[in-house]
Each structure stands twice: as C-alpha cells, then as structure tokens.
Amino acid sequence: MSKKILFVDNSTRCFCIFRLPVAKAFIAHGYEVFVMSPEPYEYYVDRITETGAVHIPYRIGPKFSLFGDFKLLVGFLKKYHQLKPNFIVHYTIKPNIYGSIASGINSISSLSVVPGTGSVFKNRGTISQIVWRLYRFAFRFSRKVWVLNEDDRDAFLQKHIIEERKIEILPGEGVDIHFFNYADYKRHTPFVFLYMGRMLREKGLEYLVEAVKRLHEKGVGGFEVQLLGLVDGLSKDVISEEEIRKWEREGLVRYLGSSPDVRLNIEESDCMVLPTFYGEGVPRSLMEACAMGRMVLATDNVGCRDIVQDGYNGVLCKPKDVDDLAFKMEIVLSMSEKEIREMGMNGRERVIAKFDERQIVNRYLEEICL
C-alpha cells in the first residue's frame, strides 16, 4: 500500500506557484498526494489535479476569530482522522497553528513551513502576542519547523517559540532555473523598473511612488515603473485598483494587472524593484528575476538580503526611506548596460548555487522519505 502525504496551504494559487514541484516529486516517489487548500481559482485547482494529486477544498478566514478558528481546528481534526495520511506538511500561519495541533491530536507526523512572518513579529499588538503564544503551543506537535531565512530563525528562538534542535532554514522555496532561464540583456528605452507581487502597502509601493515623484521633480526621466500583480482583496493592507489607476493618470506607474507567466515581463525589464518592509520569507520575484539575469533593487530587509548582495547582483536601499530609494534608483539609471548585464549574470549564478528548485525538493524528500 502506498503512503499518503497531505499538504495544507491557505492559498491554492500560492501552492501552485511555490510548492507544486514538491507535490510532483512525492507522486514520482509513489506517494498518494493530497492538497488541502481554498478553492477560489479553478485554473489552479486544475493544475493540482493534472499532476495526479487529489485536491481537498476548505474554507479559511483571513482574520483571527474565536469562533471561526475553532471551526477551522475542528475541520482539520475531522479531515485528518478521515484521511489518515502518513505525513502532513503545513504552510502559513493558520494551517501551521491549527493544522499542527490537529495532526498532533491525531498522532500524525507533521512539518511546519513558515514562508515568512509577515507583520507578526514587527507589531506589538494583542493579535501578534496571541499568535506568538499559539505558535509556541502548536509547534510542540510539529516534528520540525522550517523557516526561509536566518532573521526568522533568530526571531523564533529569541521569543522562545521553539527549541533550537527543531528549527531549520530552508533556503527559499526554490525556483525552476530552466523555466526561468537566462535572457540576454539589452537596455530598454525607457528604462524599466519592474515590481512583481501583491499590491500591498507593506511591500513599499507608496514609497516607490513617492521616489518616482522625487526623481521627476529633479528632472530625472527616461524610465518607467511597471507594477505586475494581484490587487488582493483578502489582505487588510491592500492598495485598491482605483488608487493604482490614479498613480497611472499622474504618470508615476504603469499597472500591468496579473499574469500566470511572468517571464516576458521580466525579460522586457531592466531592473526588478522591491521596496518592501514586510516580513518576507525569500521573495519569489527576486529569485525569478535573478534566475533570468536581471539585476535587483531591493530594501535591506528580511529575506531580500538573502538574495541580493549589494554591489554584486543588485543594490540595497533602506526600508521606508523615500530619499534613499530615489537615490538608489538614480544610481541604477546611471549604470552602463555592461554593468547591469554583469550584475544580472551574477544574480543567476547566485540563484543556481543557493535557490535551485531541485535542491529544495530534495530537502523535502530527505526529511520525509528517510
């Protein structure tokens, strides 16, 4: 009888973008694979089932609530008891907390993967303190906890959320270096700064827009900022499409919407920009850009500095600092085509060495199959 593995995520879309190769690897190793995630996008559910995995939809609220979270825990308990998997992998806050507790009660081994801490460790409010305590309790039931960078590991240890022996660093969630292959670089006119990600305030988009204003006021031109990604209505921090369109009318950005395949957008850009102050894991957009040989301008922020070595494959700026961001954008604009190309090539070498998807998949197989 084949073994069963269950992956539990809070986003069907994110599971497909970041974690589907892991599911495919377990199918190739003879496992029955189940993916439990919300079902807002038929396209992504189809991608899951096409691999041979079974998709199990469930409901999860974006906010913490006593009744809603208790209902979620009970749902996990029932489903785990019914399915009886040999192993469960949880992703993101609520599955990591309530799923880990449910797997422990059902005596099922589990792994918790923390893709990023978001605002949890930066805020000092009541909700953040509740989350810390829930993590501390829930992670007693996890066999291991994986975080994506040293900053998050240190934060979990400093807050005594988990024992040092149980926490390890998974270096990002990996990128397919063949799918995101090197694209030869030639400078574009106008020069293109590309932001890829959700339209969230904590990703620093307002600071980016203000930096563009500063440069325009100085008479610096010959560039445009493109925004590619979802207006995520589930996030409390979301920037509305109306606000983005206003920026467009003012000539500050160009909004491209979202795309299931971002490679052409990366190829037609000169520099990936990510002015985030969010609690990142290891930003996917930066890995994909570097894999395709594009330099990066990002904040000296958790996760970003794992990918960007200042002056080697990109430029780092201060978080929440409009003046420094504008200054660094001007530095990038002053660079020659040759310098930008060399930084892009350095970035690809860095991704191959540290973030190749195959290394990440093998880590899962070694942890769970052995």
CATH code linked to domain 4-174+357-369 = 3.40.50.2000
> Which pLDDT tens digit goes with each residue over 223-276?
999 999 988 765 668 999 999 999 999 999 999 999 989 999 999 999 999 999
Q: Measure the CA–CA gap between 5 and 368, rounded to whole angstroms.
A: 9
> Which pLDDT tens digit goes with each residue over 265-298?
999 999 999 999 988 889 999 999 999 999 999 9
Q: Where are the beta strands (DSSP E) in 190-332?
A: 191-196, 223-228, 254-255, 271-274, 295-299, 314-317
- Does residue 41 register a pLDDT over 80? no
Q: Measure the CA–CA gap between 98 and 106, rounded to whole angstroms.
A: 12
Q: How many residues does the chain have?
A: 370
Domain ranges of the chain: 4-174+357-369, 191-354
Region 191-206: mean pLDDT is 96
pTM over 0.75: yes
- Does residue 123 register a pLDDT over 70? no
4 CB-near residues (< 8 Å, 6+ apart):
31, 32, 33, 34, 83, 84, 85, 86, 87
Give pLDDT, residue 233: 60
- Which CATH architecture best describes the domain 191-354? 3-Layer(aba) Sandwich (3.40)
- The sign of the CA dihedral 160, 162, 163, 168 is negative
Buried b (16+ CB within 10 A) or exposed e, 347-365: bbebbeebbbbeebbebbe
- The sign of the CA dihedral 215, 221, 227, 231 is positive
Q: What is the mean pLDDT of the chain?
A: 93
pLDDT grade, residue 171 (50/70/90)? confident
| Cα R_g (the chain), whole angstroms | 21
Asked whether this chain's domains 4-174+357-369 and 191-354 adopt the same fold, the reply is yes
